[in-house]
Every structure is written in structure tokens, then in C-alpha cells.
Chain A
């Protein structure tokens, strides 16, 4: 656009007039169709955000029934939530699983991404597509497949199985994100490090790692979020102790308990925080290294 405009100015004498004409046109453009598109966009945005707003609003509802209008303002459900020992226990379990699975996924995923960046091998193209399958295949299939197979190799249906299940699809997240970043790195960085006498391990820690750090942090944040929220795989691998989303699920099946509003509001705020963090890291990514 900028380019064509400057060409216009150089070649045609009546450039200023034209600019005015197009300005006038852009004012005239605000017509029925524009209003319709804008209205539709606003409606869709409302549809997307309305449910979350309702949950946040009704977490301060003093009543047990979520009816309109709300009668007053109360934080009592937050208190109820903090007294719900099974819920807090499930939160602790979820956090442990998220940290364990993310750590394992980071190690395996980053190593594999380095291998894929550094070496050419047959089936690499095929592999780049297949590695997305654990994320695209329905979680329920993966969950049942693991349920059917894990006991055969001595992995009991337990939190260990859940952690293994989470790690499996998180590896794909880490691998694809870190690999994408590695592909954009200057290929001569590592060579330069080697020329300067660094061993491959030194080159990784001193040259490669600082350059892919934000991609790793981004992948870790996404992994933790996904793990904290995962249901389909966890559903089949859980034994006695529930993770947080499964605990909420069981609470919902028993009927509506308003403290779920309070828990959901907190989860929503945490999601918001992680997104802001990951956008921050994403922005830094676009700057030249």
C-alpha cells in the first residue's frame, strides 16, 4: 500500500486530489453492510464471552440458584470452596501432574527437536505430520488405548498412568513449538560456536538454549495449561485421586453447586494470566535476536 501510494505521488500530478477522493470514499463506505458486519462481529464476540461473564458474576451470588436478577453480593462461595478439602486435594494433584508431565515433555521434546533440526533423515516429512496426531486424534481414543495397554506393561491405572498420558501429548506441543523456532535460527550459530572451540554440549547451553529460551517457556506455559485442563485421557487413567477438572466434573454430575462458579472464576483468571505471559514471550520472539 505504502509503495503504491508513493509511486502515485511521483508519477501523477493529481495525487493530492486522489487522496482526498479516496478519503471521501472511505467515509461513504460506512453503510448498511458495514453496520451488519460490525453487528455480527459484536454478536459473536458476545456469544464467546457471555458464558464466562455469567460464571464470574454469579460467583458473587449469595443464592444457591443461579437466577436473574442476582439478589445481592457475597463472597461466601469462595469461602465454601476453600473449605472443600477434596477440591483442594485435586488441585494439588493437578499441579504435581502438570509439573511432572511438562518437565518430562520438555526434556524429550527439546532433544527430539534438536535431532530433527540437525539431521536429515528419510521419513522426516512424514514424521513432521505424524507427530501432530496425538493432539489431533480424539482424546477419548488415546485414553482408552492407554487404559487397554498400560496394565499389560505393568503401569497400573493410577496417577502415574495419568502423568504418562499427559506427557505423551505434551511432547508433541513442545516438539512442534521448539522445532519451529529452531528452524528460524541462524544455521551458522552452532558452527560458529564449534569453530570457537565449544563442545556440542557447550554450544547448546551457551548458544542455542538462550536463543530458543522464549519458545521453551511458551511451550511450558501452554503445556501446563493443557495438562491442568485435560479430561478425556485422564478420565480413563484415573484411579482414586481426582485431578481438578475431574473433581469439578464429578461435582457437576452430582448437581449444580455454586462454589463451582468460584473455582471457575479462579481458573479463568489463571488462564488469563498465563495467556498474557505467553503473549509477552511471543512478542519478544518477533524481535531480532
Chain B
């Protein structure tokens, strides 16, 4: 390998040093800490023990919550896809005027504060909230529906709302990149629009759909705020347990082990999705 000139390092060293000190070493610390133990006084005892990992996989609270996190994140991802595909399709293929405005409208929520959007659902879904009082005002219900807020449902609704723009963007981009001539050709060959969507549009936009789904899934896996703000007593995500271990429960080794498990899952999901995107990007390989 040829040696890089000093000017390269002058430019690049700040980044390398910063990332090593403030990102890589902190993650290494979590890894080593996951092998430590705590003594009776809650103090860290350095060492190499797999105790935390075995506790994770033998405690139903832990692996059960991980499983629940998986299913809720998958639900959020599915809902995001179901919402994103028609809207992206409409803007990409149907809207003729105001396309830029519509596109700006779908990325705008990405710039709007997370906490503001979570809060909005709190005042909409609450027992004395906008939705319940509206339903009662119109006469659809007599008493407020209390299951709306502080339940799995409200957490899923809020996450779907927050992560849909992340899914919309790559799907819309994928739809836009499909040559319109291909769609026309499919129709000329006698396919109806449903068949055209299933056999032409959908396969060609699959990389965008995978990218969007990955965003939604990974972001929901790591979200700990929506469950705190909108969740019920049983709405527990793995990130909430993780956070607790560094707070009230004060079990840093177990917390670190959960963190490492979460990290590995996220990295595996990202890698799988990168491979799937490559595999299904027929548009590029076909050329």
C-alpha cells in the first residue's frame, strides 16, 4: 500500500481521532462492560463473565420483551409500507401538477421535532383528548374510549406516524426512477394496471421498498421514547429495559449485554437489507 501524504492526514486525522475517542471506544467500553459483573453493593467488578448474556437468554422478561419489540416493530414497518406505497405511487405516477410541492410536503415531517409529534398524539388520543371528545360530540360514543392512549396501539400509531416519511422517501425515489416507457410497454402488451404494478412497478421498486422498511424497522427497534410517553404499563420495548439498567435498575453489565445484542441485531438487519437491495436492483444490473 502506498503511503499517503502528510496533507491527507492533516485533513483526515481530526475525523479519525474524534470518532475513535468519542464513538468507537465508547462502543468498545459497552462490549467489555457486558462481560463484567456487579457486586452486592452495585459496584462494577471487572472480569470476563458470560453471566449477563446467560441471564438475558434465561429471563423470559428479557427475551420475551425482545420478541415483543420485534413483533411491534414489524407491525409498525408493515403499516408504514401500507401507507407509503399508495401515496408514493400517487405522487410519482398520478400527480401531474404540484409534484415538487407534494414531495416537499412528504419530507417536511422529517424536519418536525420528534417530541412535538409524540405530544400531538398524546392530546389526540387522550381520554379527554381531541378524538374522544370529537366522537362524543358527534354522538358515536357516550363515554371516552380509554384504550386509545397508554397502550400498544397508541405507541404503534405514533411510531407509524413518525417513521412513515422515512419509508415514503426511498419508495417515492424508486418509483420515480422507473422509466415511464416500461410502464407504458406493459400496458401496451395488454396488462391491466394491477398486473403492471405487480409485475413491473413492484419488482423494480423493491430496493426502495426494502430500504424504507429497514429504516422503519431499525428506528422502531431502538425507539424508547414513544413507549415511555404513550405506552401503557405493559408496553415495554427492549430499549426501555436497556435504559432502565443504566438508571433505576443499575445493572450495567446486563444493560451492556442487552445493548450488544441489540447492536448485533441492528447490524445483521442492515447487512441483510443491503444484500437484498443489491440482489433486487434489477434496474441497474439489467443495463
Say whether B140 faces chain A, with CB atoms less than 8 Å apart. no
For A61-97 the 0/1 string (1 means CB < 8 A from B) is 0000111110000000000000000000000000000
Q: Are A111 and B14 in touch, CB under 8 angstroms?
A: yes
For B68-106 the 0/1 string (1 means CB < 8 A from A) is 000000000000000110110111001000000000111
Say whether B255 faces chain A, with CB atoms less than 8 Å apart. yes
For B9-35 the 0/1 string (1 means CB < 8 A from A) is 001101100110111011101100100
Q: Are B161 and A47 in touch, CB under 8 angstroms?
A: yes
Q: Are B14 and A112 in touch, CB under 8 angstroms?
A: yes
Hey, which chain B residues are within 8 Å of A153, CB to CB? Answer: 21, 25
Q: A235-289: which have CB < 8 Å to B?
A: 236, 245, 248-249, 252-253, 256, 260-261, 264, 267-268, 271-272, 274-275, 279
**Interface of chain B, helix or strand or loop or mixed?**
helix
Q: Are A145 and B122 in touch, CB under 8 angstroms?
A: no
Hey, which chain B residues are within 8 Å of A275, CB to CB? Answer: 104, 107-108, 111
Chain B residue nearest to A108 (CB atoms) is B14
Q: Are B164 and A167 in touch, CB under 8 angstroms?
A: no
Number of interface residues of A (CB under 8 A): 83
List 15 other contacts, CB 8 Å, given A108-B15, A168-B23: A37-B89, A40-B90, A41-B87, A51-B120, A52-B116, A54-B130, A68-B134, A107-B14, A109-B15, A114-B11, A115-B11, A148-B29, A232-B222, A256-B126, A275-B111
Hey, which chain A residues are within 8 Å of B109, CB to CB? Answer: 48-49, 52
Hey, which chain A residues are within 8 Å of B29, CB to CB? Answer: 145, 148-149, 152
Number of interface residues of B (CB under 8 A): 84
What is the total of A-B residue contacts with beta carbons within 8 Å? 234
Hey, which chain B residues are within 8 Å of A114, CB to CB? Answer: 11
Q: Given A37-B86, A68-B137, A148-B252, A138–B239 Cβ distance below 8 Å? A: yes
Q: Given A48-B165, A144-B30, A38–B94 Cβ distance below 8 Å? A: yes
